[in-house]
């Protein structure tokens, strides 16, 4: 099998790297012979550059193409690929099929449902704050993930009378942009006592700002995803909580979908696979964290 993988993997978050590692490790384990061509880009990379990388990958006529869907602009690229009829398209980090593609959906949607993770995180934050907070919203790029992680948090807390959004910024999932956003927000609105970060790189940038201001102990900050950088920040006391993905579930799911397909069992493949989450906090027992990491990163150590 010839597989092309085009990922927004140039981030502090190791989610995409671990996805590739778990995917290839599972393929080897189950005996699927493959050739992999991979391209990583930053989340804020221009659409033209992403299109160029896809065009390069398609020149080699892959059997499967693994891409993502975040911004509305990606829909045009994806529709062009589906119109070709080949390669089979796996969309990662999205678990909500688009209605506009009814009748001609991609081969497979896989990831961790952003709205589900946000609900778990919202419940934990509400408990931690007692339902009272003046918060700063730090979005990623404009698109699906910011909506499902950020706007969903706003919707879920909108009925809490003492939960108030004070400011919001789009950070392009960029550490430095996130730092500047937090410094600006806390300068103009020092009463902010909660920062909601929509991604790992954003949370790490917010930590940088809180260290500069000496406010690490004054403001609650969440992570999103529970990768290595976030787990380290939790252990160091720089992060208060996160929703942790059982990361390697998605790589295994992609490998198993391909195995079923080449065995002629495509009717056994679900349209969507969404992996599991768990909430972890600064005070989560060390033994529990070790157990979760051993499972979540079982192929991508």
Q: Which residues contact 143 (CB under 8 A, 6 or more apart)?
A: 70, 71, 72, 74
Mean pLDDT of 261-275: 96
CATH code assigned at 52: 3.40.50.2300
Question: Is it the case that residue 251 has pLDDT exceeding 90?
Answer: yes
Q: Domain for residue 79, yes or no?
A: yes
Specify the higher pLDDT residue, 43 or 271: 271
Give the domain range for residue 268.
2-112+246-275
pLDDT digits (tens, 9 = 90+) for 61-96: 999 999 987 766 678 888 888 888 899 999 999 999
Whether 190 and 261 map to the same domain: the answer is: no
- Compute the CA torsion angle 32, 33, 35, 40 (nearest 10 deg): 20
For the chain, the domain total comes to: 2
Residues written for the chain: 301
Whether 44 and 101 map to the same domain: the answer is: yes
Lowest-pLDDT range of 9-18, 82-91, 198-207, 283-292: 9-18
Q: Domain for residue 281, yes or no?
A: no
Cα distance between residue 95 and residue 118, in whole Å: 14
Whether 120 and 108 map to the same domain: the answer is: no
Confidence band, pLDDT 50/70/90 cuts, at residue 202: very high
Q: Domain for residue 287, yes or no?
A: no
Whether 93 and 155 map to the same domain: the answer is: no
pLDDT of residue 7: 85
**Residue (of 242, 227, 245) closest to 280 by Cα position:** 242
Whether 36 and 60 map to the same domain: the answer is: yes
pLDDT of residue 284: 94
Question: Is it the case that residue 9 has pLDDT exceeding 80?
Answer: no
């Amino acid at each position: 099998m010839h597989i092309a993988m085009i990922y927004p993997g140039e981030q502090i978050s190791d989610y995409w790297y671990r996805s590739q590692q778990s995917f290839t490790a599972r393929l080897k384990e189950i005996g699927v012979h493959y050739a992999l061509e991979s391209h990583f880009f930053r989340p804020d990379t221009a659409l033209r550059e992403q299109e160029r990388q896809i065009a390069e990958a398609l020149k080699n006529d892959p059997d499967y193409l693994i891409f993502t869907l975040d911004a509305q602009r990606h829909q045009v690229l994806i529709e062009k690929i589906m119109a070709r009829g080949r390669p089979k398209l796996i969309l990662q980090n999205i678990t909500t099929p688009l209605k506009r593609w009814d009748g001609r959906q991609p081969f497979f949607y896989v990831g961790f449902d952003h709205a589900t993770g946000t609900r778990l995180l919202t419940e934990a934050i509400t408990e931690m704050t007692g339902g009272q907070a003046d918060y700063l919203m730090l979005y990623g790029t404009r698109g699906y993930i910011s909506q499902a992680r950020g706007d969903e948090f706003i919707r879920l807390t909108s009925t809490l009378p003492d939960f108030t959004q004070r400011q919001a910024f789009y950070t392009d999932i960029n550490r430095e942009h996130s730092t500047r956003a937090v410094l600006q927000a806390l300068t103009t609105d020092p009463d902010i006592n909660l920062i909601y970060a929509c991604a790992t790189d954003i949370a790490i940038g917010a930590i940088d700002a809180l260290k500069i201001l000496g406010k690490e102990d004054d403001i609650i900050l969440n992570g999103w995803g529970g990768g290595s950088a976030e787990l380290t920040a939790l252990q160091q006391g720089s992060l208060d909580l996160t929703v942790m993905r059982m990361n390697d579930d998605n790589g295994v799911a992609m490998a198993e979908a391909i195995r079923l397909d080449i065995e002629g069992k495509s009717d056994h493949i679900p349209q969507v696979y969404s992996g599991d989450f768990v909430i972890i906090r600064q005070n989560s027992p060390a033994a529990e964290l070790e157990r979760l990491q051993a499972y979540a990163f079982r192929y991508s150590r």
